[in-house]
Amino acid sequence: MLFNSIEFLFFLPLVFCCYWMLSGSRQWQNLFVVAASYLFYGWWDLRFLLLIAFTSFCSYWSGILLQKNDGNRRVQKWISAGNISLNLFILGLFKYFNFFSENLAALFRSLGYEPDWVMLDVLLPVGISFYTFQALSYTIDVYQKRISPTCDIVTFFAYISFFPQLVAGPIERATNLLPQFAKSRSFDYGKAMDGMRQILWGFFKKVVVADNCAVAVTVIFNHYTHESGSTLLLGAVLFTFQIYGDFSGYSDIAIGTARLFGIDLMKNFHFPYFSRDIAEFWRRWHISLNTWFRDYVYIPLGGSRGKKGMVFRNTMVIFLLSGLWHGANWTFIVWGAYHAFLFLPLLLLGKNRKYQDTVARGRFWPNGKEVLQMGVTFGLVMTGWVIFRAENMTQAIAYLRRMFSASLFSWPHWEGCGIAAGGILILLLVEWIQRDKEHALAIDRQIRSQGVRWSIYYVLVLLILMFGGESVDFIYFQF
């Protein structure tokens, strides 16, 4: 079920009302969350429910077995390793089997052998990477004693399947989300209203910005061999905002929806296109995934401690894994490597944590240096998004080569991009003004006048209704 669908328009109010009617019983609320989440997820394909139920059941029992063998570290290690391996095997089978088998077959052909094994067309379940990583975090956290295992299977199933963030994140940690389902929740009007504001801004980013950008991006990328460099640059810029509006828009809707149910999810984006270097960008983009790799892969490997060769290795590992996590295509792996090579100089020079504050803090206008830094960072990120968006590396290289040709200085063909451009300008203006806030529509304390606040809400609703583009699936559903 899509957030931007008619079905969800009826689903959310109905689930909200039923959920709070059960507010006297935490167990009944959690059971209802599981039922509603399985309905939400099964809307795509009922077969997906078997896989998420199996993943949830195995991870739940891994926690029980770890608790029963408390004190026997060797047995606990085998239990956690077994469940981690099982989850990674399932993820690898459904997401990467075709990729590796096709590349292995190509390798054999290059050596003069024609492989005769059967190629399988494995169906990729929606959001499998997200809930698998969430299940993995539980097993790892229990093994490392960051959290006590739960004996309440309903609570655990609610943690894995909670519908707002089930298919595209944020990727939650057991230490944050599981305890919230383990305690009673009461309706908080202020939290619910803040959630509605964040949902509204998420829909604006998705429907007005991302969906309108998607139309032009598809045309430009499909005809890149016939377009000028300036038009290809326009396509790259539009895709840069498409993927941000699409993914951060989903996160805003997910986080806001969760707040309607009294649940706080972690922030996933923090105005990343106002970053002054690549390291700051990665602290602000897809925060839940990046911190997951940091805590569960990078730090256990040694992090930034040790010799420079080890630091180089650790950094390459997490960026390549981040690329591979996004999908079974060489473009994602190269995209990860590209960002690793941009990040490494900052890390090795000790400048990767230079910018921890908000850009132009205490000022409305950035200074010249900040404008230049943000412009360069944006350009580097945009170039990476071309690799990410391309169907294969041949297209990515050809697109970039043509984009940086002499025709880059011609006038682009930008017909049909007016609504997208207007949406981008509104997006940049609002998020710049709100860049030090929790989210772009956190205006309840800034704007005291209720009439002014509601006028802003009505304007955004009108913009969504009048200029919403053709409905497009969320990009990150495929990951």
Same domain, 179 and 224: no
Provide the residue count of the chain: 479
Same domain, 142 and 199: no
Same domain, 266 and 394: yes
Q: Give the model's pLDDT for residue 33.
A: 96
Is 333 contained in some domain? no
CA 113 – CA 246 distance, rounded (Å): 43
Same domain, 196 and 60: no
**Radius of gyration of the chain from its Cα atoms, rounded to whole angstroms:** 23
Same domain, 256 and 377: yes
Is 319 contained in some domain? no
Q: Give the model's pLDDT for residue 107.
A: 64
Of the candidates 187, 212, 247, which is a domain's last residue?
187
CA 62 – CA 69 distance, rounded (Å): 11
Same domain, 374 and 467: yes
Number of domains in the chain: 2
* Residue from 326, 339, 413, 439 carrying the catalytic annotation: 326
What is the average per-residue pLDDT within 106-134? 72
Confidence category of residue 23, pLDDT binned at 50, 70, 90 = confident
Same domain, 224 and 247: yes
What is the average per-residue pLDDT within 176-185? 93
Is 301 contained in some domain? no
Structure tokens at 84: 């981690």
Residue 357 has pLDDT above 70, yes or no: yes
Q: Give the model's pLDDT for residue 127.
A: 86
Residue 292 has pLDDT above 70, yes or no: yes
Same domain, 113 and 205: no
Structure tokens at 48: 């997906």
Q: Residue 465 sits in which domain range?
A: 190-276+355-478
Q: Give the model's pLDDT for residue 60.
A: 96
Is 434 contained in some domain? yes
Confidence category of residue 180, pLDDT binned at 50, 70, 90 = very high
Active site residue 326: yes
CA 256 – CA 275 distance, rounded (Å): 24
Is 318 contained in some domain? no
Of the candidates 168, 187, 206, which is a domain's last residue?
187
CA 306 – CA 303 distance, rounded (Å): 8
Q: Give the model's pLDDT for residue 110.
A: 66
Lowest-confidence range among 227-231, 284-288, 443-447? 443-447
Q: Give the model's pLDDT for residue 106.
A: 65
Same domain, 200 and 54: no
Q: Give the model's pLDDT for residue 310.
A: 87
pLDDT tens by residue, 382-398: 999 999 999 999 999 99
Is 454 contained in some domain? yes
pLDDT tens by residue, 226-243: 999 999 999 999 999 999
Structure tokens at 348: 């090795």
pLDDT tens by residue, 320-347: 999 989 887 899 999 999 999 999 999 9
Of the candidates 187, 219, 236, which is a domain's last residue?
187
Identify the residue with better confidence: 36 or 349: 36
Is 181 contained in some domain? yes
* DSSP code of residue 295: I
Is 335 contained in some domain? no
Residue 430 has pLDDT above 70, yes or no: yes
Structure tokens at 425: 């300008």
Q: Give the model's pLDDT for residue 122.
A: 61
Opening angle at CA 43, ends 467 and 212, nearest 5: 20
Cβ atoms 155, 178 nearer than 8 A: yes
Same domain, 272 and 155: no
| Average pLDDT across the chain, whole number | 91
> What is the percent of the chain with per-residue pLDDT over 70, rounded to a whole number?
94
- Three-state SS at 228: coil
CA 117 – CA 100 distance, rounded (Å): 13
Same domain, 233 and 361: yes
Lowest-confidence range among 58-62, 288-292, 449-453? 449-453
Lowest-confidence range among 106-110, 139-143, 469-473, 475-479? 106-110
pLDDT tens by residue, 244-259: 999 999 999 999 999 9
Residue 105 has pLDDT above 90, yes or no: no
Same domain, 151 and 129: yes
291 CB burial (10 A radius; 0-12, 13-18, 19+)? middle
Q: Give the model's pLDDT for residue 104.
A: 67
CA 416 – CA 448 distance, rounded (Å): 38
Q: Give the model's pLDDT for residue 135.
A: 95
